[in-house]
Amino acid sequence: MVNIQTLIERFKVDIQEGKSDEEIFQSLQSVLGEDPKFDEDLAESLATLTDAKTAKILQRMLKISKEKKVQKVIKRSLYRLKSKGISIEEIPLSKEESILRRAQTEMPKGMGGGFDALGQRFLLLVIPHSGRGMTVVEGVISDTLGLVDFSGEETTRKGARIFVEEIQKNSPFPLVEMEASYVGFLFAQAYQSTLERKRAVPRDYLRLKGEIENVKKEYERPLIYRFLPSDEIAGEDRLLGRGGDLFKTDLFSGWRIEEDLIRSYADEVWEAEESKIVLHPTQKEVRFQGIYQKALVELFSGERRVLYKRRLEEMAYLLFKLGREEEARLSVAVALDLEKPLNLIQPNPFLFQLVVKSILALLAEAHKKSAEDLSLIVKP
């Protein structure tokens, strides 16, 4: 379950940034209604935010809450805000008006997955239309290529629900809810990247570009910083030191540096292993470490380090929404460290482990192929 204090801090930032109560409440809906005690504690904590938008958020909670005890706590929090001078707008709660209001304020929905080893991820966007069905768009975007795949079509509400359920059930990677405006933002970024690289844009994207543009908003920072403020994590050396542990998790276990980028360094390690010059194991290890550091410097001194920083931030959001907050904090700590220039005395543990892991994976494949080739030799 999401930490309540983290949510309150996020709401403070949202209010300061001028977000509407509707936008703030939309990001909250996914955690409401599952645990009455959580709803009660959240409603009580919201009373500490003395702002008119807080009152409107509480009123929205009151309209959807089915638990009498939760309703009581919400009303008490509204009274506390009123006693602090916050104007509480009276909202009719008749059944007919409630149904009508929901129909009028149906919001787009978004979902997304994490990055794979190639820097690609899956995104899903459902856009409702007043008086008719919904447009459902899905796509794979790449942070190096742009739009890799994209398709979309209009369907009924029932059809959209079934489609989303099937996607969730059959996806090889976990998908989490994501602000629709952020999904639109990511699609739009991928579209611009496709144009810059002079690659063909999928026809469906051109057809639905207007709808995506209407949904998207501009974002200065990745979503994770709404939940885990960077100033709480930056500089946590203990946390950063465990950066390599991310590769022990399912979401990072398949990450590798692309073969065409890492191959030459793997060849150097292979040559050092097979060298006819007799070296002490310690000397060999020093030589290997030198190759690893060389790869680290040549591959991650510029834009690629920034690329991985963003990947880690997006993966942190996925982990956080999956309820894996400690791993999310670890991913953020590694990402924030990538803002700094490379330090070979104390290299970023995640990047260093990524280099070593990628090289060893290629060497393992080479050793296997060598053994297979030997087994094909016919003995006299």
For the residues of 176-190, what is the DSSP string, one character each? EEE-HHHHHHHHHHH
Contact status, residue 361 vs residue 256, Cβ threshold 8 Å:
yes
- In the prediction, which pLDDT does 2 show? 67
Ranges of each domain in the chain:
4-104, 109-215, 231-375
Question: What's the pLDDT tens digit per position in 272-314?
Answer: 877 666 666 777 788 899 999 999 999 998 899 999 999 999 9
Of 52, 56, 46, whose CA–CA distance to 87 is shortest?
Answer: 52
| 86 vs 2, higher pLDDT | 86
Across the range 42-71, mean pLDDT stands at: 86
- In the prediction, which pLDDT does 190 show? 97
Q: What does the block give as tokens for 264?
A: 């030459």
Residues 6+ apart with CB under 8 A from 184: 108, 110, 125, 212, 213, 215, 216, 217
- In the prediction, which pLDDT does 314 show? 97
Residue 379: pLDDT band (50, 70, 90) is very low
Question: What's the pLDDT tens digit per position in 86-135?
Answer: 877 655 444 444 434 444 457 899 999 999 999 999 999 999 987 778 99
Burial class (CB in 10 A: 0-12, 13-18, 19+), 78: buried
Question: What's the pLDDT tens digit per position in 224-280?
Answer: 998 998 888 987 888 899 999 999 999 999 999 999 999 999 999 988 877 666 666
**Entry pTM:** 0.72
Helix-helix angle 303-321:349-375, to 10 degrees:
100
What mean pLDDT value characterizes the chain?
A: 86
- Would the pLDDT of 138 be above 80? yes
Residue 380: pLDDT band (50, 70, 90) is very low
Question: What's the pLDDT tens digit per position in 308-331?
Answer: 999 999 999 999 999 999 999 999
229 dihedral zone (left: phi>0; alpha: psi -120 to 50; beta): beta
| 282 vs 332, higher pLDDT | 332
Run of H or E residues at 138: strand 134-142
Helix (H, G, I), strand (E, B) or coil at 241: coil
Q: How far is CA 59 from CA 55, 106, 243, in A?
A: 6, 17, 42
- 349/355 Cα distance (integer angstroms): 10
Q: Residue 86, Cα to own-chain centre: how many angstroms?
A: 36
- 308/300 Cα distance (integer angstroms): 9
Beta bridge partners, 127, equal: 135
Residue 144: other Cβ atoms inside 10 A? 14
Q: Tokens 């908003």 appear where?
A: 217
